[in-house]
Chain A
């Protein structure tokens, strides 16, 4: 089984340090960069939720972004179309996303491999086309603008801190899930489905539950998107976002827990900071991805962890040699 996080207190120190940096950064960087950081957080959560399905579940989920979009639209519609308070939308968003994940997953978990992937793609695009064409409800391709959020959340810095808190909690919960007996069972199903079934693991149920949990947290990420952007458009339901977050998982390292977050950081960073320098940032992003495929197929974090563990193994071996 791939190692998820180096055990021991050192890793918690590292996490604490990252959190401290994330807490203090908005004090020293510009508003626009705070907005980018917020986007990185949103995509980090979204990609990690996909990785529960893709990396840990071994399911070719080609349209995870649809649950992200459903979460965002739920908040947007609750605020603009009903008299219910903002918080009702916030509470409903992950539940609506999880409900649709259950509906879609119920059909998909019967299929395997590419067929699974294509059914997620078809059903996801089905939802996109409904959102795109249902002008009365969703505003069609205009999207929904000017979504009123509570006053204290109405600045990008506030949205950032709220996002940071929510993402930290969600990632902690997801981390506990992949380490739980359920998470171990899910990985067993991925690695050897026949053997897992023969020792009594209910394959379909494990996969469906993972699919629904993934949808739930994608819905949470959708709420954060509304906080950061203040608007939604059918693009958030379109399959291009799904492809992007899949790239984040693969580039960051889908057999590591933090890989997708690293991938989100890399992709959002590359597309915005290089995009500010040159018109042809897609070319550079493509070249970087190609280099990752050819030279570190296990992803950025997977590659680094391999390096680290071989260094620490060698060091440990060296120490033993000295002691002996």
Chain B
């Protein structure tokens, strides 16, 4: 029974980690799928989401539902910043080669990290888990933190929203059409430049949401983006570029794999995500599910 509860809590931790990874990766994968830009700054947007969530909670007050305000406001602010970045910078380099775009987004990483240092300082920040979700529930003799259930729930909600957006709304269909054939979309009288702007903002929104969701469970600190961005890039490619369901699948493999791995091989678990993705890329180089590229 003892071991069963450990498995249960590890599974919950793994699932909640997977869902954070998925939300961030989904943002990256739609940007890659439609804009075909390798956006190194995606991790920085995630970090920005966490810092903005901290400020919103500090402003609204943690005890007055500040977290829920932050969960709404922080991603929207990151989306707005992404919109400015896309309109002000990225659109000038779409016709250039991938590496030049990559250099630009890397420059953004440096700039954002220093802007964060200027606005929030170098120390780490934290926000409390909202009162309604604090504590843990007893289950099969183990205690499971309630907040993780929110994370586990958030992933599928985001997945369904994205599915609805891309397959049922006019704007979402325009995004998919632009990803497939931009020229034809332009001849049909759709302004594909604005589709790009929308998709990049959506990517920022998801990165910011991931950052805001993880904020109560971790130290909000400079450099929290570095480890995440590598994993998220691998998830996107392993899942199939531009494929949201692929990203979900790969996130589950990464998150649950790592948390289960910790039980059997505590010191080696850090190796697992890279080992898994290397093996998958060797066996299925084009990703688990169909890529849009």
Contact = CB atoms under 8 A, between A and B. Distances in A.
A227 interface: no
B285 A111 contact: yes
Given A125-B230, A283-B115, A293 B100 contact: yes
Closest 8 CB pairs of A and B: A286-B110, A286-B111, A289-B107, A283-B114, A126-B274, A118-B237, A122-B278, A282-B114
A118 B282 CA distance: 11
14 contacts: A107-B278, A110-B285, A118-B277, A119-B278, A119-B285, A121-B230, A125-B274, A247-B106, A254-B99, A283-B111, A287-B111, A289-B107, A293-B100, A294-B93
Which residue, of A118, A239, A250, has the highest number of chain B Cβ atoms within 10 A? A118
A107 B189 CA distance: 44
A293 B104 contact: yes
A121 B233 contact: yes
Contact of A280 (B92, B107, B117, B268): B117
Interface stretch (A23-31, A129-137, A197-205): A129-137
A280 B118 contact: yes
A294 B89 CA distance: 9
A293 B271 contact: no
B235 to A, nearest CB: 10
Q: Is the interface of A mostly helix, strand, loop or mixed?
A: helix
A114 B106 contact: no
Given A126-B278, A243-B106, A250 B111 contact: no
Contacts of A282: 110-111, 113-114, 117
Given A60-B98, A126-B275, A283-B111, 14 more contacts: A107-B282, A111-B285, A121-B230, A123-B278, A125-B274, A129-B274, A280-B117, A283-B115, A285-B107, A289-B103, A289-B107, A293-B93, A294-B104, A297-B100
A267 to B, nearest CB: 11
B189 to A, nearest CB: 30
Interface in A286-311: 286-287, 289-290, 292-294, 297
Nearest to A140: B267
B230 A289 contact: no
Contacts of B267: 133
Interface in A227-282: 239-240, 243, 246-247, 250-251, 254, 279-280, 282
Given A121-B234, A280-B118, A297-B100, A114 B107 contact: no
B274 to A, nearest CB: 4
Contacts of A12: none
A40 to B, nearest CB: 19
Nearest to B238: A118
A292 B103 contact: yes
A130 B233 CA distance: 20
Interface in A109-149: 110-111, 113-115, 118-119, 121-123, 125-126, 129-130, 132-133
Contact of B100 (A121, A123, A250): A250
A119 B230 contact: no
A176 to B, nearest CB: 26
B96 interface: yes
A287 to B, nearest CB: 7
A110 B283 CA distance: 11
B127 to A, nearest CB: 25
B129 interface: no
Interface of B: 38, 40, 89, 92-93, 96, 98-100, 102-104, 106-111, 113-115, 117-118, 226, 230, 233-234, 237-238, 241, 267-268, 270-271, 274-275, 277-278, 281-282, 285-286, 293
Contacts of B114: 280, 282-283, 286
A118 B234 contact: yes
A63 B282 CA distance: 17
Contacts of A280: 114, 117-118
A182 to B, nearest CB: 23
Contacts of B274: 122-123, 125-126, 129
A305 to B, nearest CB: 17
Interface in A140-181: none
B121 to A, nearest CB: 11
Contacts of A246: 99, 102
